[in-house]
A and B are shown apart, each in its own frame.
Chain A
Amino acid sequence: MSRGLLFSILFHAFVISMTVLTLPFMLRDPVDLPPIVSVEFIQITDKTNIPFAPKAREILEKVKKEDKRVVSEQAPPADKAKEKPDRIPMPEDKKEIKKIVKKKQNPEEIKPQIRQASEFEKKELFDPDQIAALIDKAKEEQAETQKKSNKLTQSSVKDSFARGLSLSEEDALRAQIFGCWSVPLGLPYDEKLLVRIKLKLKQDGTILKSEILDHERMNTPGQSFYRVLAESALRAVRICQPLKVPPTGYERWKDLQLNFDPTEMLKG
């Protein structure tokens, strides 16, 4: 028994003295962790706007049709391909677009176009000097309209015609509604949980009219959770009034559709 004790003491003393010798070196300062910075990842798709506005296209085609009517059937199909304005035309620019579009055509194209131009424009186009002057004018007008477009709110830098709301406008609205929407917890995981609400808004962001699309589903037996979900979405929208809408451009966002889908939240 005492022998064991002696050996135990000796062994322990050895081990401890070894650690003691290394102790001062083992003292290290606690590592300072860098402060946590919260970052939210926003999905930015490659293109948040279509290169040219459908409205503009419509105007171009209208113009072409008018030309066709007046003139023979030899409308050059190549015109369509070349008609891509490299800046965004604004509603105020309707008139200018017509003119500019015509004048911006390729020199090679001008000739056949000239032949097909309406009677009263023929004289103008034939004059080469005038054409040169007109082309310069096109450039000037281009610059002007660009300035005008810059004057509009920052957020509509991305094309507002194509989507109605720019990325940051949409984010602001979404973030606002995220805060108002109390997701009911009793929802089944594996059912289709999409509720689409169509809104008609007033200029100040309050709701004029709301409508639940798929409202037949509200009273389907066995799908009572759908009604609960739809009601929670309506509550969210009502509580959130006035909605964060852009200060201008009422026409483009007065009709809004909100797609409520809690699937991500429930699965996560």
Chain B
Amino acid sequence: MKKIIITLLFFIFSVQNANSLIKVDITRGNLDPLPIAVSPLHVDEKSEDLKGLKEKKLGEEISKIIERNFKSTGLFNPLKKDAFVQKPDIAHIKPRFEDWRLIKAQALVTGKILVKDKKLKVEFRLWDLTAAKEMVALSFTTTPTNWRRVAHIISDKIYERLTGETGYFDTRIIYVSETGPKDQRIKKLAIMDQDGNGTKYLTLGNELVLTPRFNPTNQLVTYMSYFKNMPRVYLLDIETGIQEVVGNFPGMTFAPRFSPDGKKVIMSFAKDGNSDIYSMDIETRKVERITEHSSIDTSPSYSPDGKYIAFNSDRSGLQQIYVMRSDGTQVKRITFGKGLYGTPVWSPRGDLIAFTKVRKGRFYIGVMRSDGTGERLLTENYYQEAPSWSPNGRVLIFYRETKSDSKGKGFSAKLWSIDITGYNERMIKTETDASDPSWSSLLSK
């Protein structure tokens, strides 16, 4: 009897204790960017002098690139350097956390640079100021001329640690540079770092070039050119500059992309008023016909696993988006909303398809799931189209054109980017007007 009573009492007590733990639900916070301090990297005095490389300034330059990268995401708020409390060399070894917290920073980036034996060695650390401990510590060795890429790689590592996603800073963007009057545009292929630096022109502008794309290793580019007044798809090797036409098609080929394994080029071929999607194996030169329909089929886009292709077709009477297996079977329409849909691009994550939508004279950039549900329009404009995904599937780059007057004046084309949440819409600076942007994959893999 006693035992029963005691166990009952014990049970009652323990139940009561469990109830005494108060649980509070926190379901809201703020979407403010994380305040982060990027200290200039400390340049080791033992560093050698290299021609053309201002090593003394490198530490500051690298930190500036990292800051600009962070600011461009809309997720981080790099703090102003004049408020910084510790010198770069000391901060890198032992930061005084309370002092840094005073300027309201929650994270701190410090680093060290050494130039030795004609090599550049960079070390960096990411500190969690509220927990007062180190979060990431890495070092890189590379040729000194690659110092910009080091800054981008550091940015990627920090971004990944703080957001849980891979970064997109060590990437390039290929686009069409435009100059001249609207009815006589000069177009050239241009390539630049994702932050707008290092623009290089790959063609001379003697003929129109359109819609370039990188291959998965970022060494080849496919695009459409009106060389010799014959609109065809070409391949261009970035390093050698050698161009060659893709296949031997008796008519216009256009809208080219690479398959995810980089082995094939997929494109549209127009003949006798009908455009269908074809692919060609780069090595074997074998051509395969994928769609066979009297409608216009264009703008194909592979899913990242290579099993499906999303494309644009007007077989229903107006431009809509369809998905089919990569052998051309099981074609399914996925857009049913009012308006026209075009330029489908499959996200590198495989979860979403970005597109252009035209309705009542307005142009929209949007995303939807690969079955067509969950359509979300991110931005509206007089004219914008052709979104392209960042390698982590979070940011879209596209281009916008403005109206022009009766003489064609006032016309401009610019690159823009937006986060898939609809936040952080911003213009990307280019040396000239620009259109048809395409994002590379991460250069360091």
Other-chain residue from A165, A183, A226, A264 in contact with B24 (beta carbon distance below 8 A): A165
Known: A187-B164, A252-B22. A234 touches B29 (CB 8 A): no
Contact present for B164 and A179 (CB under 8 Å): no
Question: Hey, which chain A residues are within 8 Å of B19, CB to CB?
Answer: 54
Contact present for B164 and A228 (CB under 8 Å): yes
- List residues of A (60-117) whose CB comes within 8 Å of B's CBs: 61-62, 65, 69
Other-chain residue from B23, B26, B75 in contact with A185 (beta carbon distance below 8 A): B75
B130 at the interface (CB under 8 A from A): yes
Contact present for A238 and B130 (CB under 8 Å): yes
Contact present for B164 and A183 (CB under 8 Å): no
Whole-angstrom CA separation of A186 from B32 in the bound complex: 13
Known: A186-B164, A186-B394, A224-B164. A181 touches B22 (CB 8 A): no
Question: Hey, which chain A residues are within 8 Å of B165, CB to CB?
Answer: 186, 225
B281 at the interface (CB under 8 A from A): no
Whole-angstrom CA separation of A228 from B163 in the bound complex: 6
Contact present for A54 and B16 (CB under 8 Å): yes
Contact present for B27 and A256 (CB under 8 Å): no
**How many interface residues does chain B have, given as a range?**
35 or more
Whole-angstrom CA separation of A224 from B167 in the bound complex: 13
A146 at the interface (CB under 8 A from B): no
A170 at the interface (CB under 8 A from B): yes
Question: Hey, which chain A residues are within 8 Å of B242, CB to CB?
Answer: none
**1/0 contact string of A243-265 vs chain B (CB within 8 Å):** 00000000011011111111111
Most chain A CB within 10 A, of B25, B28, B128, is at B28
Contact present for B26 and A256 (CB under 8 Å): no
In this complex, what residue of A is CB-closest to B374? A189
Contact present for A62 and B9 (CB under 8 Å): yes
Known: A179-B30, A235-B130. A256 touches B9 (CB 8 A): no
Known: A178-B28, A239-B130. A185 touches B421 (CB 8 A): yes
Question: Hey, which chain B residues are within 8 Å of A263, CB to CB?
Answer: 27
**1/0 contact string of B415-428 vs chain A (CB within 8 Å):** 00001010100000
Other-chain residue from A185, A235, A261, A264 in contact with B106 (beta carbon distance below 8 A): A235
Question: Hey, which chain B residues are within 8 Å of A58, CB to CB?
Answer: 12-13, 16
Q: How far is the CB of A225 from the nearest CB of chain B, in Å?
A: 4
B146 at the interface (CB under 8 A from A): no
Q: How far is the CB of B20 from the nearest CB of chain A, in Å?
A: 6
Q: How far is the CB of B267 from the nearest CB of chain A, in Å?
A: 33
Known: A178-B28, A182-B30, A253-B22. A61 touches B164 (CB 8 A): no
A184 at the interface (CB under 8 A from B): yes
Most chain B CB within 10 A, of A164, A182, A262, is at A182
**1/0 contact string of B158-183 vs chain A (CB within 8 Å):** 00101111000000000000000000
Q: How far is the CB of A215 from the nearest CB of chain B, in Å?
A: 14
- List residues of B (46-86) whose CB comes within 8 Å of A's CBs: 74-75
In this complex, what residue of A is CB-closest to B28? A178
Whole-angstrom CA separation of A100 from B5 in the bound complex: 24
In this complex, what residue of B is CB-closest to A194? B25
Q: How far is the CB of B27 from the nearest CB of chain A, in Å?
A: 5
Question: Hey, which chain A residues are within 8 Å of B25, CB to CB?
Answer: 174, 259, 261
Whole-angstrom CA separation of A47 from B12 in the bound complex: 23
Known: A181-B26, A258-B26. A234 touches B130 (CB 8 A): yes
In this complex, what residue of B is CB-closest to A235? B130
In this complex, what residue of B is CB-closest to A55? B16
Q: How far is the CB of B225 from the nearest CB of chain A, in Å?
A: 38
Known: A58-B12, A183-B29. A255 touches B20 (CB 8 A): yes
Contact present for B164 and A265 (CB under 8 Å): no
Question: Hey, which chain B residues are within 8 Å of A262, CB to CB?
Answer: 27, 29
Other-chain residue from B13, B21, B24, B28 in contact with A265 (beta carbon distance below 8 A): B28
Question: Hey, which chain B residues are within 8 Å of A62, CB to CB?
Answer: 9
B102 at the interface (CB under 8 A from A): no
Known: A224-B164, A262-B27. A255 touches B22 (CB 8 A): yes
Whole-angstrom CA separation of A165 from B312 in the bound complex: 59
- List residues of A (151-207) whose CB comes within 8 Å of B's CBs: 163-165, 170, 173-174, 177-187, 198
A217 at the interface (CB under 8 A from B): no
Whole-angstrom CA separation of A253 from B21 in the bound complex: 7
Contact present for B26 and A186 (CB under 8 Å): no
Most chain A CB within 10 A, of B22, B160, B165, is at B22
A212 at the interface (CB under 8 A from B): no
Contact present for B163 and A184 (CB under 8 Å): yes
In this complex, what residue of A is CB-closest to B13? A58
Q: How far is the CB of A232 from the nearest CB of chain B, in Å?
A: 8
Whole-angstrom CA separation of A236 from B32 in the bound complex: 12
Question: Hey, which chain B residues are within 8 Å of A165, CB to CB?
Answer: 22, 24
Contact present for A255 and B75 (CB under 8 Å): no
Contact present for A261 and B164 (CB under 8 Å): no
Question: Hey, which chain B residues are within 8 Å of A187, CB to CB?
Answer: 164
Whole-angstrom CA separation of A180 from B21 in the bound complex: 23
Contact present for B26 and A178 (CB under 8 Å): yes
Whole-angstrom CA separation of A253 from B9 in the bound complex: 24
Q: How far is the CB of B82 from the nearest CB of chain A, in Å?
A: 23
Q: Which 6 A-B pairs have the closest CB atoms?
A: A181-B29, A225-B164, A228-B164, A186-B163, A164-B22, A183-B29
Interface residues of B, Cβ cutoff 8 Å to A: 5, 9, 12-13, 15-16, 19-34, 74-75, 106, 128, 130-131, 160, 162-165, 394, 419, 421, 423
A–B pairs, 20, beta carbons within 8 Å: A65-B9, A164-B22, A174-B24, A177-B26, A178-B30, A181-B28, A182-B32, A182-B106, A185-B31, A228-B163, A235-B128, A235-B131, A236-B26, A252-B20, A255-B22, A257-B24, A259-B25, A261-B27, A262-B27, A264-B28
Further pairs besides A178-B26, A186-B164: 19, Cβ < 8 Å: A54-B15, A178-B28, A182-B29, A183-B29, A184-B163, A224-B160, A225-B164, A236-B29, A238-B130, A239-B106, A256-B21, A256-B22, A257-B23, A258-B23, A259-B24, A259-B25, A263-B27, A264-B27, A264-B28
